[in-house]
Homo-oligomer: A and B are copies of this chain.
Amino acid sequence: MNYQIILEEIYRDIQPFAKEGKQADYIPALARVNPDQFGMCLQTIEGEQFILQQADTRFSIQSISKVLSLALCLSIEGKKLWERVGKEPSGAAFNSLIQLELENGIPRNPFINAGNIVVADVLLSRLKNPEKKFIEFIRALCDDETIDYNLEVANSEREKSYLNAAIINLLKYHNNIENEIEEVLALYFKMCSVEMSCKQLAKAFLAFADHTRKFDYAGVYLTSSRVKRINSLMQTCGFYDEAGEFSFLVGLPGKSGVGGGIVAIHPKLYSVAVWSPRLNPKGNSIMGMKALELLTTKTEESIF
When the two chains form their complex, are residues A88 and B241 in contact, meaning their CB atoms are under 8 A apart?
yes
A231 cross-chain contacts in B, Cβ below 8 A = 304
Query: How far apart sit A173 and B241, CA to CA, in the bound complex (Å)?
Result: 20
Nearest chain B CB to A93's CB is how many angstroms away?
Answer: 10
Choose from B91, B96, B302 the contact partner of A108 (Cβ within 8 Å).
Answer: B91
A245 to B89, CA, bound (A): 10
Instruction: Determine whether A166 belongs to the interface, using a CB cutoff of 8 Å to chain B.
Output: yes
Question: Assembly of this chain: how many copies?
Answer: 4
Question: A87 near B244 (CB under 8 angstroms)?
Answer: yes
A17 contacts B by Cβ under 8 Å: no
> How many chain A residues touch the partner (CB < 8 A)?
51
A75 interface contact, C-beta 8 A: no
Nearest CB to that of A98 among chain B residues?
Answer: B98
Which of A119-127, A143-151, A213-221, A246-254 is near enough to bind chain B?
A246-254
Contact call A88/B228, Cβ cutoff below 8 A = no
A49 at the A/B interface (Cβ < 8 Å)? Answer: no
With A91-B91, A166-B167, A235-B236 given, name 8 new contacts (CB 8 A).
Answer: A91-B92, A109-B244, A163-B170, A165-B166, A166-B173, A224-B300, A228-B251, A267-B303
Chain A interface residues (CB < 8 Å from chain B): 86-92, 96-99, 101-102, 108-109, 162-163, 165-167, 169-170, 172-173, 224-225, 227-229, 231-233, 235-237, 241-245, 247-249, 251, 253, 267, 297, 300, 302-304
